[in-house]
Structure 1
Amino acid sequence: MSGLARNPALPAALLLRLLTLVGRDHLALHHALRRPDLPEQAVAFILAHPNPAVRVEFATSTGADPGRRARLVDDPSPRVRAALAYGPERHVPRTTVPPLADAVYARLLRDPEPSVRAAVLDSPHLTTAFAASLAAHPDAAARLRAVDAWESLAPGERSALAADPDPGVRRAAALWRCRSDARVTAGLLGDPEAAAEALRRGLLRRADAERCVAERTHLTALAANPSLPADLVERLAVDPDEEVRTAVSVRPELDEARRMSVAFTVRDFDRREVEWVHDGLADPDVLRRAATSAHPLLRRTAALSPHLPSDLLDVLARTGDPLVEDHLSVHHPDAPEEVLMRVFARLGGTFSAWMAETHPRFPREGLAARYADHPDGNHRRLAVRDPAATPELIERLSHDPAVWTRQAAAADPRLPLPRLREVLHVPELASSAGANPALPEDEMAAVVDRADAPA
């Protein structure tokens, strides 16, 4: 059923019948409710579905228009309204999830159920403008979320949050204020919940910095502080703790020679992001400094940027660093073909399938000749992507020893119809065959009939 739910050729009438069954099959539910082409009749059916799980799935759909999802704002189930308030769980790389309208979030924030209000404030999809609008909200949790929009707040709003009656709000505001006020930083150093963050970002008095070095207080955080005096930076650059030395090695003011003279430690699969580089992923100067550095953490962070110009993209593609290549393959729409193929060969599995299907630069032409007889089944399935692959080759690959290759062939519309009808009844291929747009409508209807869906 999950394959049929993905089939782009599924007629609307069969989709409606399929939706009567989605409560029985979670995977089919997931795919059916994330179709971007749901007709209005199907949306109305979903919104009125008696199973809250169906409405929750639609509330968090990445494919549904936010205006359609917003029609659940008055759903009788708090679980559904909370799902709507939070939104889709994660972003798919190279795609964006449009948020609900601010007016919808405002309405959800007035919901009588605490779980719904909490979901709004936890949502990763709120606009900065909406978060900033919460600065004077009567709920302390909402004011705390407003602190996240600190740089968009008016001076009076900042002052009010700094003097907020709630200690959590005051602490969060102080962690912003300390960046430009050493007295605020000093006041936070006695707070166990704020000290490390204050030492990482706050403006420091020399005496406080010296004391922290002498007492070895949160040295890794201190080593990243932009206001740390230069002589103390030099002391931490030779600290016996490798984490402290590594934190010094990524400081933005170091030139390349000084950076590489620090005895830092970066392991092969160290995915730590360098904050000043991450903050500058759209800044050409930051990207150039990071991408051309010999420091692996700077290069790995720069590789997260979809904005790399072609020359820096080429520089990073030649580093030979698997993590750099992984990041480029996920985040950059122009990642070179050779990088994509190396990542595909190295990682395999679901990730490689996702990348091959979604990356705009993943190759198609010539794959049949290169990979149809490859010893690795993960590569043989690439032959199915080739527009020049013949129906005979597709049929041969539908009998391949590797199940992923057989599944790729079963979903291909060039598969001869007799074989397509056959694989529809093979358990490990049935879902792929159900997603095949060449599947005749009578076969689609038969699948739905076998599931006892009402007409």
Structure 2
Amino acid sequence: MPTPQEIWETADLAERRLAGVALNPSAPEDVLLRLLADGSPAVRMVLCRDRILPDAVVEAVLKHPDTHTRSFFARNPHVDPAQRVRLVDDPEWFVRAHLAEAPHVPCGWRVRPLPDWAVVRMISTYDSEALGGTFRRQVSTAMWRSMPTHPVAEVRRWGVGLWDHLSADTRAALLADPDEGVRERALSHLREEDPAWVERMLPDRSCHGRTRALMFLALSRAVVDSVLTAPVGPQDRAMIANNPGLPADVVALLAADPDPEVRETIARRADLAPAELRALAVDPDPEVRLALSVHPALSEGERAAIDYEVPVDRCFDHSPVPFVPRDPEDVRRDAHSVHPLLRRRAAADHSLPPDLVARLAEDDDLGVRVLLAQNHPDAPAPLLLRSFLEYTGHSREHLTARPNFPTTGLAAYADHEDPMVRALTARDPEAAPATVERLTHDPDPAVRAALARHPSLPPSRLRELLDDEELAHPAAANPALAPETMHELVAAHGHRA
């Protein structure tokens, strides 16, 4: 079976046009059912994977005899996950594996979680290979939190992986669990808290296992001293600088390490003594000073006295809900901080109260405003638009998918120098037909494609684009396309076939 990219690349003009009809929100149900029954792989792929479907079409997809057609629906990010999981017991492993694989969405976009019951069933019945990779992105936060005490043993085994977040009572229960697999996994985590065991098992070469041990596991003094005197690799010192159990005298030693990467890592530790705080606050390396400037032990006055520079060219993305929610008072303190990085941290919190949303929406730091727009479910429309206009970094397009992103008035940007901003015109239902038609001739292909789908496109131009090699696909998805024209296109293809 060819890959989805190969399927699309080998589709001819007629197939791409019908794939556009398959995306058309105005396509009658009978047209969609005909495309599902008789369409080429490219048409069925787009129909089943790239849109919300009427209930009757969903039923037909679930019963479709072609394995790959059902697998396309299993990967659909637009439909309700409750519809996708109706394939949870599909007879074909290929379909089940694609259900377990999170739907492909632009980087930074959230994948809607599967129903908890379906996650339990998949963990209980699917092999580990199918549940690797991106499956975890489809598990709800509530489901993750329930795993360590879940009544199903296979789920508790997954819950053991949350060891660092578990209470002493929950850990003890897992160590005494009636299921041998749960007990073994819990014991493996407990061993990692034993410095003598870690010392015996520590690889003597640079590898992932050594990196993980040096950064996170319990280290004996002998291991620490060996890293200081005879490191295996050039990053060993920076690795142990991150270890939460590092002795205080070693923290002090590494705070003066000649490698700025080591000092920067040390600067992020919460257990710094006053002497290290003072030294790192005037470190010659700007990255070290920046890392130290957000230290929780500093007062706002001490923070402001540090010579740091906050970068504005970083990616400001959507952040997942943390397993352990932050303390609301800590979030409020950060939101009122003089430090932009702390305000950015607060802005990424999904549960900010309305007063802090209003405050941070007017913040003078771009990162604060964009992170608020990317993460808060009630980010106001003016903030979303302003963020899109001012931020040109990673996941910028995610802003247009936020619930409150505006539509009316966007045609005012039809002549903007940035093509992504010009393309916003396609979202404006009141854009003038002449403006829409003009932008289908835009020098940027993404702008042309976006405006080819605008319902205000003059009918004569829409008919012309149906035969355009480049724009036939988006033009056929235009909701202004007459139903009779869609029927004609489907019939013509069927006759040709």
- Regarding TM over 0.5, the answer is yes
Amino acid at match of 2:161: R
Q: Distance in 1 between matches of 2:272 and 2:337?
A: 23
Assess, with a 3 A threshold, how the Cα gap between structure 1 residues 261 and 321 changes in structure 2: closer, same or farther: same
Q: Distance in 1 between matches of 2:38 and 2:222?
A: 58
Larger RCO (CA within 8 A; separation ≥ 6) = 2
Question: For the Cα contact (< 8 Å) 1:121–1:145, is it kept in 2?
Answer: no
Q: Distance in 1 between matches of 2:81 and 2:443?
A: 43
Question: For the Cα contact (< 8 Å) 2:160–2:185, is it kept in 1?
Answer: no
* Alpha-carbon offset, residue 36 of structure 1: 3.0
Q: Distance in 2 between matches of 1:42 and 1:362?
A: 29
Moved more, 156-165 or 68-77: 156-165
Amino acid at match of 2:95: V
Q: Distance in 1 between matches of 2:236 and 2:34?
A: 55
Assess, with a 3 A threshold, how the Cα gap between structure 1 residues 430 and 188 changes in structure 2: closer, same or farther: farther
Moved more, 425-434 or 384-393: 384-393
Amino acid at match of 1:347: T
Structure 1 equivalent of residue 66 of structure 2? 50
Among candidates 235, 259, 272, match of residue 303 of structure 2: 259
Question: For the Cα contact (< 8 Å) 1:35–1:63, is it kept in 2?
Answer: yes
Q: Distance in 1 between matches of 2:161 and 2:40?
A: 35
Q: What CA RMSD, in Å, does the superposition of the two structures yield over aligned residues?
A: 4.7
Assess, with a 3 A threshold, how the Cα gap between structure 1 residues 388 and 117 changes in structure 2: closer, same or farther: closer
Q: Distance in 2 between matches of 1:410 and 1:311?
A: 41
* Alpha-carbon offset, residue 78 of structure 1: 3.0
1:8 aligns with 2:25: yes
Assess, with a 3 A threshold, how the Cα gap between structure 1 residues 266 and 365 changes in structure 2: closer, same or farther: closer
Unaligned 5+ segments in structure 2 are 1-17, 196-216, 228-234
Structure 1 equivalent of residue 86 of structure 2? 71
Question: For the Cα contact (< 8 Å) 1:383–1:389, is it kept in 2?
Answer: yes
CA offsets, 1:59-102, max 9 Å, x none? Answer: 23223333332232233433432332343355887866132333
Assess, with a 3 A threshold, how the Cα gap between structure 1 residues 249 and 371 changes in structure 2: closer, same or farther: closer
Q: Distance in 2 between matches of 1:279 and 1:247?
A: 24
* Alpha-carbon offset, residue 238 of structure 1: 3.6
CA offsets, 1:129-178, max 9 Å, x none? Answer: 45314799579974653536625962423555998478853466779xxx
Amino acid at match of 2:112: V
Unaligned 5+ segments in structure 1 are 176-183
Among candidates 72, 97, 100, match of residue 112 of structure 2: 97
Assess, with a 3 A threshold, how the Cα gap between structure 1 residues 198 and 109 changes in structure 2: closer, same or farther: farther
Structure 1 equivalent of residue 189 of structure 2? 169
CA offsets, 1:408-437, max 9 Å, x none? Answer: 443222333333222222233222222222
- Partner secondary structure for residue 129 of structure 2: helix
Among candidates 154, 157, 161, match of residue 145 of structure 1: 161
Quote the sequence identity (%): 30
- Partner secondary structure for residue 471 of structure 2: helix
Assess, with a 3 A threshold, how the Cα gap between structure 1 residues 389 and 433 changes in structure 2: closer, same or farther: same
Q: Distance in 2 between matches of 1:441 and 1:246?
A: 60
* Alpha-carbon offset, residue 314 of structure 1: 5.3
Question: For the Cα contact (< 8 Å) 1:85–1:105, is it kept in 2?
Answer: no
Structure 2 equivalent of residue 344 of structure 1? 389
Structure 2 equivalent of residue 178 of structure 1? none
Amino acid at match of 1:442: E
Structure 2 equivalent of residue 226 of structure 1? 270
Give me the TM-score of the superposition, normalised by structure 1. 0.75
Structure 2 equivalent of residue 109 of structure 1? 123
Q: Distance in 2 between matches of 1:404 and 1:246?
A: 39
Q: Distance in 2 between matches of 1:431 and 1:9?
A: 15
Amino acid at match of 2:368: V
Moved more, 329-338 or 3-12: 329-338
Q: How many residue pairs are counted as aligned between the two chains?
A: 439
Q: Distance in 2 between matches of 1:188 and 1:43?
A: 63
